[in-house]
Each structure stands twice: as C-alpha cells, then as structure tokens.
Structure 1
Amino acid sequence: MFVGAPGSNMEINNSMHHFQEWLRSLPSKVPGWEDYWSLLPSSSSLLGLGALASLTAYWLLTRPRPMRPPCDLQAQSVAVKGDPTCRRSALLQDDSLLEFYYDDTRTAYDMFRRGLRIAESGPCLGFRKPSQPYQWISYSEVAQQAQLLGSGLLAKGCQPKPQQFVGIFAQNRPEWIITELACYTYSMAVVPLYETLGLEAMVHILNLAGISVVVCDREEKAASLLENKEKGHAPKLSCLVLFDHFSQALVARARACQVEVLKLSQLMELGRQNLQDPVPPQPEDLAVVCFTSGTTGKPKGAMITHGNIASNTSSVIKILEGSFVIGQEDISISYLPLAHMFERMIQVSMFCHGARVGFYQGDISLLMDDIKTLKPTFFPVVPRLLNRIYDKILGSVTSPLRRALLHYAVKRKQAELGSGVVRNNRLWDKLVFNRIQASLGGNLRFALTASAPISPTVLSFLRATLGCLIFEGYGQTECTAGCTFSMPGDWSAGHVGAPLPCAAVKLVDIPDMNYYTKDGEGEICIRGPSVFRGYLKDPKRTAEALDADGWLHSGDVGQWLPNGTLRIIDRKKHIFKLSQGEYIAPEKIENVYLRCLPVLQVFVHGDSLQSYLVGIVVPDPEVIGDWTKERGLVGSYEELCQNPDVKAAMLEDMRAVGKKAGLKSFEQVRDLHLHSDTFSVANGLLTPTLKSRRADIRRAFQEQIHAMYSKTSCD
C-alpha cells in the first residue's frame, strides 16, 4: 500500500469482488465477448489480476493531485483599463483593489483580536532557554499584558492617539510584540530602532519623532541612548523601560539627566493600578514609522497605517486561500528583524488566524537548534539563508554515487513540481531528502522568501528537496511589505509573481537607461491601499517617492512576462543590495577608488545574488608605466592591462585606499578586470555630461563580470 494511503484490506477485497463481477457482466453488454471470455483464465486465476486492477484503481483515486491554481497561470495579471503597462491581480473581479479580507479585520489591532477570538487560551508567543523546550504565552495572556502595559504608558504621560510615538529598541522576543500590541490597543504608533542604524541616526529619529519613551531589551542599549541624552542630543527622552534586569548604576546615571528607568513588570503594575479601556485605532491611523537605513544621508521614516497593514496582509491571505489556510496548529519561527516590515507582516498573518509564533534565542548561531526544537510549519526566510542551506546540502554530499543520486532525485521531484504537485512523502523524500527536511523540523508546509532576489537554481532545488510550498515576494517598506507574490501552482522561477490584490503595478519609461514600456520594461511603480502615507516630516523626499497621482516610484526596473508576472531586471537608482542584505552606493565607492594614482576610471558592480563586489578599471596610461616599474613590472600599456600581477598590485592599492577612507569590508571590491580603452561618449559608456551609463557598462562587460564571479566563487 502507498505511504499515507487511507485504504484497508476489506476495501481492496471489495474492489476485487466488484472488478470480477464487472468482467462477468461483459458478455451481456459487449457482442462477441463470449469468444474472448472462454480464453480468459479461470475465476481463481483472476484473483491476482483483480488485485492488480484494484490496486491500480486505488492508486488512481489516492495519487497526489496537482494544486489547483486560483487563476489561469498563463494570465496571472490583467491590464488596467486596457493599458498593458499597468496591471492588477487576476484574482480581482474588477479594478477595485482589495482593502481587507475579513469584514472584522481592518487594522493590525483587529487582526490580533480575531486570533484571540479563535484561539482564546491557546498558545500565541513562544520562547525558550538554552537546551530547554519552548514555553508558550497564550493569546488571552498576551492581550491582558498588552492592556496593562498600554495603561502603564498612559500613566507615564503618553496620549492615546496616532501621533504618540513609542520607541522599541530590542531583539525579537515576546515582549516586543506585547509592547507593539500595547501601543495599538490605545491607538499609539511604534518606532522600531535597531543597532545598525548607528547612534547618530537613532538620535535623529528620537528627535524627529519626539520620542519620550523607549522600550529596550538590555542595559547596554539603554546606556547608549543615555549617552546621547547626557550630551544633550536627545532632549525629549524621559523614560527607559527594560525587559531584562539592570544595574543601580544605570538608574543613577539616568536620574542625573532626568530620565526614569523602569522594569517592564513595574510599568505593567502601574497599568494595573490605572487600568484604562482600550482605544482601538482606525484604518487611516498611523501604526508604525519604519526608518530605513539607506546608504547616504539621514534615515527616512516611512509612515505605515493600520489600513496599509490590513490590505497587504489580506492580499496574501486572498492568494493563499485555496492552497494554504493558516490554522491554530501552524507555527512560524521569528528571527528576521522585527524592525523591518517583512517579519511584522508574517506575524500579523499568523495572529489573524490564531496561529503561533516562536522566537529564536537571539543568537543566530543557535537558529538551527531552535528550528529543530520548534518544528515550524511556516518559515519566513531571506535568500542569504536559503543559499547557505543550498551550499550546505551540496557540500555534505562528497561521494560521486551519492551526488548522482541526489541530482537524480531532485530532477524527479522537479518534474513532479512541473506538473503542479508539491509533497514530501514520495520515495525520494524517504530515501534522500528526509535528513534535509528533518534539519528544518520536519513539519514545514510553507516558506516565503523576500528582501532580495534569489537564484532560480537555488529556488527550484529547495522546492524539490524540502517538499513544501516556497513562494517568492517582491516589495519594499514604502508599500508596507509586498506588491507582487508567487501564484500557487506556478512553481517556475526567474520572476517575482503577479501583483497582489491590494496593488496596481505599472512600468514607466526610463530613457536614460534605454528602458521603454513599449518593450514591456520600465521603472516599477505601485499604487493602492498598501502604499505608505509618506516620510515623517520630510515632504521633499516624500515628493520624490510619491507622484501627484499617488504612484510610488520604486527605483527598481521591471519587465512584464507573457504570463502576467513581473521580473526584476535592474535598479534605476544607483543603489542596490548584496545577497546578505547590505546596501551599496557604487558611486561613493568609485569616488574613493579614483584617489588611487594609477586609476583613471572605475566601475563598481554588485549582484544581488552575490555577497561581494567586483570592478572594471581603466588604468591611467600616463601613470601606469612608472607605477608598475616601481614594482618591477614592465610592458606596453595593453600588456600591463593583461598582466595578472599588475591587477593584483592595483587591487591591493585600491583596497588600502578604501580602508583608509572608511569603506566597510563588503564595500571593497574582491576582484578586478583591467580594460585598456577608456569609457567615452563615443563608445556609449558615458553620457554627454560624462556620467557613467551604468546599464550599458554592465552589458558591455557582462562576460568579464561573469568570469570574475565564477573564478572568485571557486577560490
């Protein structure tokens, strides 16, 4: 019997009996059948044939069936008002975009309350200590603690209104969510802080938002904020609330600069003594101001409303309604930063259905142990981690026989995926993939990757080996989280899916980069109920992001595919992410490298599927000869450009200049290609104002860039 088959011996015997009776009835139904009947084996010999037929019929009834897509996979989006450059989800009945899925969930607060009604005293937030099982806080306990904490904030002078900002400076843990829900319970907005912003940026945020209360996890973070208060840089800061224990020295230091320090439990007790009725937010109210670190200038605070969150979450629920219904038994692992919208949207989706969220211990090196213990069914992930899993799987297979078996099994599973079947109970799963699946807890049903592009090779490989649904999304903070999403049943790779039901997506011409909508290419623009309100107290940068018609200009370059999905092909702004999520401003790096004596022109390239940079350098012909002679290297200009020792010396010099200028390690190029012809207007690599045509340079040196990445990855 097949693994997981629900049948029984009695069912098979009955099927055999019915099959034999059907054979005997044929002479009366089919003329001439008597001649063939006499040639058939005796009734007893038919037993084996009947058993085989019954098993065949049983397999046909119980075989895995392909997932039924919610729409035609060859037409996943629809042109808006007949404009092929502007498209919306094919799941919508008309051009009206989705604002909410459930009638009673129009805010983030509503979504948690819905989960509370479903789960009541069921588990909500999980945490663990080293080598211990997970402990759970119930939905009712979370709601009660949030009301106490919110009442405590009001007792400390906070106002129950969306213009009241409360800072959260902490790693992922249950108290983070309880603090956020406390703010939502009384219509306050949260402002997440995180260490990679830097202290100068955090001071800017505290002052811009007028934050008086910051909730922290550890004493070290509170001390860093106090340091700026002591210098007079954060005058409005008046209260620090800590999750963990803190020293009396911190209390004394804070008192000296008129800042009160409280334990979270103290603030909750104050709330218990001054308990207030909830003041629920409205959809148009501000929920969070999410500051983006960027690469240059002061951070921008994206204003996200409750309606933004509800529409974005509802759209994902809408897409998944026929393929993945979140239930109370579903569990998500929380380790991606809660300071960013991706992780927050995942959690809101879980809470809306009464599901569970388990937090990692705070140490990324222990994440795999947390996953094995938690056994999540839902795995939010970024490409960097998927790449590590992929590399680890391939690296663990050393013998040629096992490698061949792995690749054969992957091909068989990928063929099944091609027919729309997703499962983890096939023979190959038991023989080849069981340890891989067990390393992620063994219960995984769903994974979602976002934040950066993922290689189609890695995505297809992991869909086969993990045997679960893996979706890819695309978006940015300014559209709450996502604006496109993979369609269930479409397991192809190389695109980021179709528009979410909450978003209309259009492309606009970029003449400077030779991208035109007539070719189905252009800058990606988004409009709809999930698009943010603007940047906090920054009308200039708001106007740069949002045009007069409400379209958010993403800065990414996209291409519509024939099936209505979107492919990301470039970046309009000269800022991009590496695979580990670090932002790169290449022109800043190029300006540093131009200080190197032998460098005439330089082009820095990064690939969002790679973790490092490479460069194209045109050496200065008037300098390179003398510079190389000092290093014992001679030859003509062309010969020097082809000499690997010259390249190595130049790379060393550039990295030294970069280090002196303060470039971070990920901002330094790892390999170079030396080119003997200058970039010019005549050869199409410079604009008439002598700026680099970055897209054209990248295309011109595509072969060399590919070779550098291939070589470096093999080193």
Structure 2
Amino acid sequence: MSKSFVVPSSEIPGYSPIYRHPKYKSGTHNGEFADITTLHELFGHVVKTYPKKEFLGARDYYPETNSFGQYAWITTTEAAETISELGSGLDMVYAKYAPEVNSSTGQQPIGILAMNRPEWLLTELAAFRSQRYTVGVSDTAGIEAAECTINSADIHVIACSMDKIPRMLDRADKTPSLKVIVSMDKLDCSKPSVATQAFSKDTVDILKTRAELLNIALLDMDEVIAMGRLNPTEPASPKPSDLCTICFTSGSSGAQKGVLLTHEAFIHATRGAHLSLEQCDTTYLSYMSLMYIFDRYMVYSFMHGMVRIGFSCGDSLRLLDDMQVLRPTVLTITPITLNRMYDRIAGATIGATGISGVLSRFGLKSKTKRISAGRGFRHALWDRLVFDKVASKFGGNIKLLASGGTPLNPEVQDFFRAALSCNVIQGYGQTETVAGGLIQMNDDRKNNNIGVPSPGVDIRLRSIPDMGYNATDAPSPRGEMMIRSKILFSGYNGDPERTKEIMDGEWMATGDIVQVNSDGSISFVDRIVSTMKSAWCISIEPAPLEMIYSSHRLVNYVHVYGNVCTYELVAIVVPEPSAFVPWARAVAGKADAEMIKLCKDDSVAKEITQELRVLASKNNFPPRAMIGAVHMEPVPLDQINKEFYTSTLKIRRHIVNQHYKTRYNELFSTLDTTIDPKFSLEREE
C-alpha cells in the first residue's frame, strides 16, 4: 500500500510535517478536469460526454398496494432540457415574487425540503443555472429547526414535496421571508407518489386557499417548467467563488451551523474523490439525505466519470429491496446502517448454528486471509457456498463500498469485504470540508485507518500537550488534524466569530485527534472537545447526562463514555455509600458484604445499570444516551488519581478516559449492538 507523501522540511515547532496524497505530491490535481470549475460546468460535461445515457431514476409507486416497481429513468439530455426550462421558470418566479438579492451573499437562495428524489437534484442544478444557491431544509428534527433554517438563510422560495406543504403553511407566520412554495408533485394529484397518498383534489384546493390567504404563491414544478418553456431565459453561469449551497449541520451537538460552500470547494473535493476512487460508469443508490453533505459529495464525485443515480423509495426498511432492483455498482453507507445490516446478515451466516454456521465462519476466515494478502476478492468455493447469497441481497453487482461518518468496526469491514467480494474503504470529512479530506486508497486492505489525504488536500498534526498528544510522538505522531485545501468552507452563515475560532491562518482545525501510522495511513484517535460521537453518528455532550444520572439516590457521581462502534454508553459509577450499601447487600444477598466487594458484584452492576436506565427513561433520554454497562468505583475519583480534576475541581475528561480505556473496552464488549430499525436515515450526517 502506498504511503502518505511527507513534504520535505515542512515541520515547524508544535506541528508535524505536511502530508499529501502519494500520487499528487505537488498538492494539486495536476490539471485533470481543470476546465470544470463549477457544478454547473460539471453537469454540462456530463451531458456533452455522455449524451442520452440514463441519468436519474426513481421507482414507480403503486398506491393500491403501497408497493414499488422498477426504476423509471430520464436521460442526461432529458435532464438538461428540464433543467433549462425549470431554471427559466424560476427566473420568472423570482422576478415576480422575490426579486430581492441576499445582502450578504449577493445571490438568491432556494430552499429544498423533500426526501431524495430526482426533483431534488433537478432543482439544485436549475438553481446553479441562474447563479442561485440551494439550502437544504429539514423538519425531522422539529419545526423549530426548519424555521431557523428558513429565517437565517433568508429563503423566499422553497421547493418541496406535497406532504411538506401543510407544515410550511402552518409555520408561515414564523417564516415571514417565505413568498413562494413550489410543489415537486402535481397539484392536481394526477401522478401518485408516497408524498401525495394523503391528498385529493379537495384537500389540495384547501391548501391553495390557505396559501392565498397567507399571501404565499403555491405552484407546482410542472407549472414552473411550462412558464420557462414559453419564456426561455439565458443562463447566468456561476463563478467558482459563488456560493453553491448553505449546508446546515444536524444541530445534534448544539445550535445548527449554516456552512457556506462555494462551487470551487465542491469541485475540488469531488474531483479529488473521483481521482481517488477511480470509478466510471457508476450505478449509485442515493438514500442518505441530500440536505446533508455526504450524499451530494458522492453524487457529484461520480458525475466526473458518469453516473446513473437511482433514488431510494424513502423507506429504510426497503433499502435492500431498492438495491436488488437497482443493482448498484458503488454503495456509500454510514457505519450505523452497515452495522445494522451486519447484525442481521452475520446472525444468519457466521452466527448460525450447525453446518451452515461452521461453513460460513471457515469461509470468512479463508477469504479474509486471501484478501489481506492481496490475492483478490473472489473465491470459487466460498462465494458459491456462502457469500454470493449475501451479495445478491445488495444487488449482486457491488464493486466498491465506501463508508464515512465514524470509524468502521474492523470486524464489520472484514466481513463485508468477504461477503460482497469487493473492497470496503473508509474516509473522513466534515461539512466544512465538503465531506472530503481523507480516503483509503483502492489497494488498502487494512482496517483501523481512515486513509490518506485526498488529492489536493494538505494534512498536518498540531500538538495538544495538555492531552498528551504530540506531533513528535514516536513511532506514530499524534495531534489535532489540521486541513489546508480549496475544499474548505467560506465560513458560517452570519457567524464570523465562530468561523475565526475554527481557523488557524489558512488551516482549519478539525477538533479530531489522529495519528500517522507506520504505513503512512492515518487513524482516528480521540476528540478534543468533550462531546462524544457514538455509532448513531450523532455527537453527545456528556455533562448534562451526567448531571441527571448523578442525581440518582444510589450514586455520588456518574462519568459516561461513548464509542463510535457501539450504540449505548458505558459509565464509571461512584456509589453513595449510605444508600448504596444496604440496597446492594439486598440485591447481592450478602448481608455483611463491604463496599469494595459489592462494587465488584456482577448482579449489583446489572441492577444499578437498570436503575440508571429507568431514570434516563423518566427524563426522556434518547436511546443514544442510555447506559448499557457500568464499572463501579468504591471511592471518589479524586482518591484514585488527583490528576482527574483541575484546581477548580473541573473533571479532566481525557485523563479519566485514558485511565479507564482498557475497562471501557471490556464493558463495550458486553453490549448488544442491535439497533432499532426504525431509526431515521435522514438524521444521519
């Protein structure tokens, strides 16, 4: 496997040398696709290079049986015609209803609120045609989040699916900037979809009346396209420095942040991904919410080499069914979804009893050894006996599986390499880096790393001595990962102070601690901030949870910890002696047991865990904030190590976590890794 390229003499005090992709040592893309500078030009390249190829597809919906059929496609040429007419129609809509230009950006935004579907991407590309930018809006996190997005981005026009229109009208008094709603579905309900099943001509007439009373223009996309067809306008192509989107983060770790991303940043990131992945003529399943950055990053990356984009039907329980119908060649997936699939599939193969389980386990061991040795992904015997059946559930045509969000469990990564007979790679990115940054190379068969810098991306490590991480650590340098590249965001919408906080000159501080391994790959190690990221792909702030857990009458202090490969938390529990001892003696059935023995008793540990879970339920904690296993300490933490606290008695989380690292791993190994299948895919980032 190729190593990261180390830029000679680039280290400075407190920082590591600069690392780059081994094939792009100059830090640039070497001129490849240099004529494509905006996403508008990228789509033009697709139409010119691959005319009349299948481009966007969605499954036919049958309301009578609530079922889905085959994929119906539009070609690149048909998409270009629709985008031209829709763009012209939007020009007329803005001129009539919303001629104002955003004072801070000098452009006009259009909001998009819908699950993934062809109209989502058609709307975005039509916006680019007229130098506008998109703002993804979500109401799955609550009405307030949608209102915040609309107001902070000053959205006057929004395109949405029909099922979202009532909610848009409900919040009209709190979103005064909104002037136009464009329905992606026909307002006469003549074309059924999942979004129209609760509507009829009469209910739509009521919506029209409500919109008129609220002074909001309600149109459908076909009307806007017809307007553009009759009154074509000249395209106003965007510049590389123009905004292409404001991408709002999920807000799970605090207030939502509107990340400003330019065409230049998007093109640089997606071009780098294309050069790394080297995938052409791709069939891609789009199922992760297009509101967030990861799926759009993948869509535009694959456009460099042509892509058929089939959109999921929107039901997470039918995701495997979508794959079997579409037969994608590349699948991008978050660890939470892959772990969920692993739980289900591994239980029926390597976890099975009898001869089936024996064969599956032997086959996995044999194939994993073969793949690690670089001898290919196929095995004539084991694929025929075991793994072709698994691959068929994913459509039987996967050539590459890419994961991002949080690190993959090595067992899961190895399993799917064998089961799908293809490479399974990881990457790293943030919304602020257009989801790009690092990616495993195609010849990397190892686990526990997030790859090397993408082409055109510089990485360096900044020492964090207070946490014990230094860029001079041997044999593996460690520190906060810093990124310098054209992929970086332009700032946070309306928040210049927060923008300054994250930047160190031309370098962006990621907040993530990584190490450079001996083979030149980079691995995730820790987080600087106190938030933890669990396998739900959602950041968790421990302090508020600990405050509630520590209020239980049986405990003095609870210290929680999360792991990116598990769904529940573990905790260090310091009991309250006066209440705990008599209670624990009754649980253990040991009338004379002392505190130390009671803290080591498994039955007591299980019961105190249940007590804390009951408390969490009473306080409406979500599943990701539940404690699954505990380690009990008979004495306060400052008696174990005075370095656990500052002079002002603030907990030094990183020191506590380092001290209990081995114990945490033991606790995590006892947890059940199954997950509620109803967890919304749209919440993933």
Fold shared per TM-score above 0.5: yes
Q: Which moved more, 1:638-647 or 1:126-135?
A: 638-647
Given that residues 309 and 480 in structure 1 are in contact (C-alpha distance below 8 angstroms), is that contact kept between their aligned partners in structure 2?
yes
SS at 2:69's partner residue?
coil
Q: Deviations over 1:68-125 (max 9, x none)?
A: xxxxx3533323544244211121242x333863122111111111111122111100
Cα distance between partner residues in 1 of 2:480 and 2:89: 47
State TM-score, norm by structure 1. 0.84
Q: Does the C-alpha gap of structure 1 residues 708 and 77 become closer, same or farther in structure 2, counting only changes over 3 Å?
A: same
Equivalent residue for 1:480, pick from 434, 437, 456:
434
Q: Does the C-alpha gap of structure 1 residues 676 and 168 become closer, same or farther in structure 2, counting only changes over 3 Å?
A: same
Aligned ranges 1:132-147 → 2 under 5 Å: 132-147=69-84
Q: Which amino acid aligns with 1:688?
A: S
What is aligned with 2:176? 235
Given that residues 285 and 306 in structure 1 are in contact (C-alpha distance below 8 angstroms), is that contact kept between their aligned partners in structure 2?
yes
Q: CA deviation at 1:510?
A: 1.6
Aligned ranges 1:188-203 → 2 under 5 Å: 188-203=132-147
Task: Say whether residues 1:249 and 2:203 are aligned partners.
Answer: no
Q: Which amino acid aligns with 2:538?
A: E
Given that residues 486 and 496 in structure 1 are in contact (C-alpha distance below 8 angstroms), is that contact kept between their aligned partners in structure 2?
yes
Equivalent residue for 1:309, pick from 236, 244, 266:
266
Cα distance between partner residues in 2 of 1:80 and 1:214: 50
Equivalent residue for 1:701, pick from 660, 674, 679:
660
Given that residues 587 and 603 in structure 2 are in contact (C-alpha distance below 8 angstroms), is that contact kept between their aligned partners in structure 1?
no
What is aligned with 1:278? 235
Given that residues 455 and 609 in structure 1 are in contact (C-alpha distance below 8 angstroms), is that contact kept between their aligned partners in structure 2?
yes
Equivalent residue for 2:128, pick from 166, 176, 184:
184
Cα distance between partner residues in 1 of 2:611 and 2:377: 53
Q: CA deviation at 1:128?
A: 0.8
Equivalent residue for 1:557, pick from 508, 513, 520:
513
Given that residues 274 and 305 in structure 2 are in contact (C-alpha distance below 8 angstroms), is that contact kept between their aligned partners in structure 1?
no
The structure having more radius of gyration, on CA atoms, is 1
Equivalent residue for 2:168, pick from 208, 218, 225:
225
What is aligned with 1:659? 617
Q: Deviations over 1:480-523 (max 9, x none)?
A: 11201111212111111111112111111222211111111111
Q: CA deviation at 1:296?
A: 4.6
Cα distance between partner residues in 2 of 1:494 and 1:683: 33
Aligned ranges 1:525-674 → 2 under 5 Å: 525-547=482-504, 549-625=505-581, 635-644=593-602, 646-674=604-632
Q: Does the C-alpha gap of structure 1 residues 297 and 391 become closer, same or farther in structure 2, counting only changes over 3 Å?
A: closer
Q: Does the C-alpha gap of structure 1 residues 204 and 456 become closer, same or farther in structure 2, counting only changes over 3 Å?
A: same
Cα distance between partner residues in 2 of 1:411 and 1:632: 42
Q: CA deviation at 1:648?
A: 4.6
Given that residues 162 and 187 in structure 1 are in contact (C-alpha distance below 8 angstroms), is that contact kept between their aligned partners in structure 2?
no
Q: CA deviation at 1:358?
A: 0.5
Q: Deviations over 1:386-428 (max 9, x none)?
A: 2233333321132443333223323332333233343436343
Aligned ranges 1:209-358 → 2 under 5 Å: 209-219=153-163, 221-229=164-172, 232-244=173-185, 245=187, 247-320=204-277, 324-327=278-281, 330-358=282-310
Cα distance between partner residues in 2 of 1:561 and 1:117: 43
What is aligned with 1:44? none
Q: Which moved more, 1:293-302 or 1:473-482?
A: 293-302
Q: CA deviation at 1:131?
A: 4.2
Q: Does the C-alpha gap of structure 1 residues 393 and 661 become closer, same or farther in structure 2, counting only changes over 3 Å?
A: closer
Equivalent residue for 1:375, pick from 315, 327, 352:
327
Equivalent residue for 1:410, pick from 364, 377, 397:
364
Task: Say whether residues 1:153 and 2:90 are aligned partners.
Answer: yes
Cα distance between partner residues in 2 of 1:558 and 1:417: 26
Given that residues 486 and 497 in structure 1 are in contact (C-alpha distance below 8 angstroms), is that contact kept between their aligned partners in structure 2?
yes
Q: Which amino acid aligns with 1:496?
A: I
Given that residues 568 and 623 in structure 2 are in contact (C-alpha distance below 8 angstroms), is that contact kept between their aligned partners in structure 1?
no
Q: Does the C-alpha gap of structure 1 residues 261 and 567 become closer, same or farther in structure 2, counting only changes over 3 Å?
A: same
Number of aligned positions between the proteins? 633
Equivalent residue for 2:48, pick from 103, 117, 135:
117
Q: Which amino acid aligns with 1:689?
A: T
Q: Does the C-alpha gap of structure 1 residues 404 and 79 become closer, same or farther in structure 2, counting only changes over 3 Å?
A: farther
SS at 1:156's partner residue?
helix
What is aligned with 2:118? 174
Cα distance between partner residues in 2 of 1:353 and 1:403: 41
Aligned ranges 1:27-66 → 2 under 5 Å: none
Cα distance between partner residues in 2 of 1:680 and 1:222: 56
Q: Does the C-alpha gap of structure 1 residues 297 and 381 become closer, same or farther in structure 2, counting only changes over 3 Å?
A: closer
Equivalent residue for 2:39, pick from 108, 113, 118:
108
Q: Which amino acid aligns with 1:395?
A: G
Q: CA deviation at 1:463?
A: 1.1
Cα distance between partner residues in 2 of 1:277 and 1:491: 50
What is aligned with 2:650? 691
What is aligned with 2:634? 676
Q: Which amino acid aligns with 1:306?
A: H
Q: Deviations over 1:420-467 (max 9, x none)?
A: 343436343233321111111111111111111101122122112211
Cα distance between partner residues in 1 of 2:502 and 2:635: 38
Given that residues 101 and 315 in structure 1 are in contact (C-alpha distance below 8 angstroms), is that contact kept between their aligned partners in structure 2?
no
Q: CA deviation at 1:581?
A: 1.8
Q: Which amino acid aligns with 2:383?
A: D
Given that residues 150 and 175 in structure 2 are in contact (C-alpha distance below 8 angstroms), is that contact kept between their aligned partners in structure 1?
yes
Name the % identity. Answer: 30
Given that residues 9 and 17 in structure 2 are in contact (C-alpha distance below 8 angstroms), is that contact kept between their aligned partners in structure 1?
no
Q: Does the C-alpha gap of structure 1 residues 395 and 661 become closer, same or farther in structure 2, counting only changes over 3 Å?
A: closer
Q: Which moved more, 1:613-622 or 1:495-504?
A: 613-622
Q: Which amino acid aligns with 2:22?
A: A
Q: CA deviation at 1:275?
A: 1.6
Given that residues 162 and 189 in structure 1 are in contact (C-alpha distance below 8 angstroms), is that contact kept between their aligned partners in structure 2?
no
Task: Say whether residues 1:455 and 2:387 are aligned partners.
Answer: no
Cα distance between partner residues in 2 of 1:226 and 1:357: 32
Q: Does the C-alpha gap of structure 1 residues 98 and 578 become closer, same or farther in structure 2, counting only changes over 3 Å?
A: same
Equivalent residue for 2:345, pick from 371, 382, 393:
393
Cα distance between partner residues in 1 of 2:169 and 2:30: 42
What is aligned with 2:19? 87
Long gaps (5+) in structure 1: 1-72
Long gaps (5+) in structure 2: 61-66, 188-198, 675-685
SS at 1:663's partner residue?
coil
Equivalent residue for 2:29, pick from 87, 90, 98:
98
SS at 2:291's partner residue?
coil
Q: Which amino acid aligns with 1:544?
A: E
User: Alignment RMSD, CA only?
Assistant: 2.4
What is aligned with 2:194? none
Task: Say whether residues 1:522 and 2:463 are aligned partners.
Answer: no
SS at 2:70's partner residue?
coil
Cα distance between partner residues in 2 of 1:106 and 1:646: 63
What is aligned with 1:37? none
Q: Does the C-alpha gap of structure 1 residues 432 and 629 become closer, same or farther in structure 2, counting only changes over 3 Å?
A: closer
Q: CA deviation at 1:333?
A: 0.8
SS at 1:195's partner residue?
coil
Task: Say whether residues 1:360 and 2:312 are aligned partners.
Answer: yes
Cα distance between partner residues in 2 of 1:366 and 1:645: 40
Cα distance between partner residues in 2 of 1:654 and 1:425: 48
SS at 2:488's partner residue?
coil
Q: Which amino acid aligns with 1:594?
A: S
Given that residues 424 and 466 in structure 1 are in contact (C-alpha distance below 8 angstroms), is that contact kept between their aligned partners in structure 2?
no
What is aligned with 1:444? 398
SS at 1:515's partner residue?
coil
Q: Does the C-alpha gap of structure 1 residues 647 and 429 become closer, same or farther in structure 2, counting only changes over 3 Å?
A: closer
Q: Which amino acid aligns with 1:241?
A: V
